[in-house]
Structure 1
Amino acid sequence: MACNVEVTIYNAESEQGFRDHVRSQRNPAILRGAYIGECVKNWSSEYLSQKVGKIPVKIHVSPSSKMDFVKKNFLYKTLPFDELVARASREQQESYFIHPRELYYLRSLGIEPRGTDIADFSKHYPTLSEDLRLPNIFEASRYFSSVLRVSSSGLSLWTHYDVMDNILVQVRGKKTVILFNPNDSLNLYLNGDKSRIIDVDDIDNPDFPRFKLAKRYECQLNPGDILFIPALWLHNVRPLDFSVAVNVFWKNLDDDFYDKRDVYGNKDVIPAARALQTLQNATKLLSSLPEEYKDFYYRRMISEIEIKLETVVKSECRS
């Protein structure tokens, strides 16, 4: 069984060390105790409701504490922002969509009705943005988006990876985060950019025998903490209280690698997307063969990939 690893924590006095880590290291780190504005003090549910008001927001509503993107155990709904905050900050609802103890999650989007603009916290939530001081870690030209997240206590988002570097700024509530190195992806049973493993605490699930081999990086975020999540690192997030946070995403590769039509910033980089599509086409081509031929040529393809992977691993070891 793989060991658990604690995420490195930098305090406010070593903020430059955190910045250096983000720029040079491809593993998570936390900055704790830095000043991020008056948001930590101000952002109560009442304050948020008053400042933002009844702007409609699209949300996830789940009767389960573990959202499953594959099986879709949630509904997409729209609520006024102040109503979302009121519901997400209490345990039982008088008015509900599914169940009195349903849970809520907001991942803010752009404001264009056709969904053609990119989430920008300061632009879309101007009455809150003056309360939040985001650290200036990357060049402004590398900025992609900033996303407001609001969640009920205990609601886990599915384990997934992002294709850009990002920081998660925890403003209200505590949150447990479990992360996995990209080199453990074969132990995470991926379906697209998401893991099929819904309960990351069930390491002995017989459906996912390799999961117990994955090395887990664990941390608890407190209000005011800033977590660096490198691109491709899978992560699972579970709020321990009513939670409000802001993600900021940066392009860590050249612009040409990213799909310019991707307003959410969650599509695989273009060369990878094309390669994966080629793989899908290859398996489709083999589908007409008898079983023993398909089995053989699937294994041949795996062997070819393993050779390439060995080259990458050897290169990483030399560096």
Structure 2
Amino acid sequence: MATQKKIAVPVFTEVDRDVFLQKIYPQRKPAVLRGVCLGPCLEKWTVEYLAQKGGDKEVKIHVSRVPQMNFLNRNFVYRTLPFDEFVRRTSEEKHADFFLCEDESYYLRSLGEDVRKCFFPQDPADLRKQFPELADDFHIPDFFEPSNFFSSVFRISSRHLQLWTHYDVMDNLLAQVTGRKRVVLFSPQDALHLYMTGDKSEVLEIDSPDVNLYPEFVKATRYECVLEPGDLLFIPAMWFHNTLALQFGVGVNIFWRELPADSYDKKDPYGNKDPVAAGRALQALERALHCLDELPPQYRDFYGRRMIQRIRERTFCNRTSPTAALE
């Protein structure tokens, strides 16, 4: 049986703004940046300190009976806890107080302001706004223009928590402040092997995939790294990623715009909606497919192949044989 190709994400040390912009960023590939100054958060952000600073401020969290959280079938529930209670529970292996079971898993992804009180955020997350008492501890690297800043997402997760494979449409620095985390990534050019539903992959068990359900998955090259406290991981836009917390962990994601601001959906607080032009193209594709539905199967097959060939000619970065995408 074929085995999946694996590549270790390269590690760079002594990275400053010039090194990042001249040597790392143009490659458009993941990179671990080690030794970048993230501020006093590396020493300060203990369970006790976080609980004391966050106090009884209520936070909306994910709670799951199993550590593999899956957004496609929603195997988790949303609950609200005071921040200090949430941090205490998340750092535990077994819980005296719980919602679903004593070994349930917790996950916090900070949200932007819900100014209309409609349960969903209208603004992107910003550590400085949601957790101002912690923001001064964390230094955002100056690797992009401040005007391109989109969000800073505060994350806390239980040990063993694994998040579904997905992509974001903006560039991203994942700062691992405490705990260790494994990250597996897949190139955008492997999207056809990942069984996508929207921005998510249907392959949940990436370490032991069902080869009968997902035979193409083995063709996707797996990029992998383990982040230590203080590490930064550069995740370029559209790179799929799957995270596994090896320990109770705290981190911050910093997202910024690579494209002009008007290229993005202005009603997207998460940074994961497709760019406006891509959204229009996908809608046009759906209309085209509905047109093909009016034809008999052999005609749909023929004109579908013509469409694939045209798309390949216009869009594919790495062209091989002209018929490879049709097989």
TM over 0.5: yes
Q: State the shift of 1:288 in Å.
A: 4.6
Q: 1:21 and 1:87, CA in 2 relative to 1: closer, same or farther beyond 3 A?
A: farther
- Structure 2 residue corresponding to 1:52, chosen from 45, 51, 54: 54
Q: Where does residue 215 of structure 1 map in the other structure?
A: 221
Q: Is the 2:20–2:143 contact (alpha carbons within 8 Å) kept by the matching residues of 1?
A: no
Question: Structure 2: where are the runs of 5+ without partners?
Answer: 321-327
Q: Is the 2:16–2:36 contact (alpha carbons within 8 Å) kept by the matching residues of 1?
A: no
- Structure 1 residue corresponding to 2:205, chosen from 196, 199, 210: 199
DSSP 3-state at the match of 1:268: coil
- Structure 1 residue corresponding to 2:279, chosen from 263, 273, 278: 273
Asked if 1:313 corresponds to 2:318, the answer is yes
Q: Where does residue 234 of structure 2 map in the other structure?
A: 228
Amino acid at match of 1:156: Q
In the alignment, the residues of structure 1 paired with residue 286 and residue 306 of structure 2 have an alpha-carbon distance, to the nearest angstrom, of: 15
Q: Where does residue 323 of structure 2 map in the other structure?
A: none
Q: Where does residue 140 of structure 1 map in the other structure?
A: 146
Q: State the shift of 1:3 in Å.
A: 2.2
In the alignment, the residues of structure 2 paired with residue 239 and residue 75 of structure 1 have an alpha-carbon distance, to the nearest angstrom, of: 19
Amino acid at match of 1:284: H
Amino acid at match of 1:60: H
Amino acid at match of 2:318: V
DSSP 3-state at the match of 1:248: strand
- Structure 2 residue corresponding to 1:125, chosen from 118, 121, 131: 131
Q: State the shift of 1:123 in Å.
A: 2.0
In the alignment, the residues of structure 1 paired with residue 253 and residue 186 of structure 2 have an alpha-carbon distance, to the nearest angstrom, of: 18
Q: Is the 2:6–2:221 contact (alpha carbons within 8 Å) kept by the matching residues of 1?
A: yes
Q: Is the 2:90–2:106 contact (alpha carbons within 8 Å) kept by the matching residues of 1?
A: yes
DSSP 3-state at the match of 2:69: coil
TM-score (norm 1): 0.92
Map 1:250-289 to 2 at 5 A.
250-289=256-295
Q: Is the 1:18–1:31 contact (alpha carbons within 8 Å) kept by the matching residues of 2?
A: no
1:56-78 CA-to-partner distances (Å, cap 9, x unmatched) read 11111111221111111111222
Asked if 1:108 corresponds to 2:110, the answer is yes
Q: Where does residue 166 of structure 1 map in the other structure?
A: 172
1:57-113 CA-to-partner distances (Å, cap 9, x unmatched) read 111111122111111111122221112111111111122222211101111001333
Q: Where does residue 5 of structure 1 map in the other structure?
A: 7
- The count of corresponding residues between Structure 1 and Structure 2 is 314
TM-score (norm 2): 0.90
Q: State the shift of 1:234 in Å.
A: 0.3
Asked if 1:28 corresponds to 2:34, the answer is no
- Structure 2 residue corresponding to 1:37, chosen from 25, 36, 39: 39
Q: 1:13 and 1:302, CA in 2 relative to 1: closer, same or farther beyond 3 A?
A: closer
1:130-181 CA-to-partner distances (Å, cap 9, x unmatched) read 1111211000011011000010111111000000001000001000001111
Give the share of equivalent positions with the same residue, in percent: 48
Asked if 1:301 corresponds to 2:301, the answer is no
In the alignment, the residues of structure 1 paired with residue 278 and residue 215 of structure 2 have an alpha-carbon distance, to the nearest angstrom, of: 27
- Structure 1 residue corresponding to 2:74, chosen from 68, 72, 75: 72
Amino acid at match of 1:124: Q
Please tell me the root mean square deviation across aligned C-alpha atoms, in Å. 1.9
Q: Is the 1:181–1:234 contact (alpha carbons within 8 Å) kept by the matching residues of 2?
A: yes
Question: Structure 1: where are the runs of 5+ without partners?
Answer: none
DSSP 3-state at the match of 1:304: helix
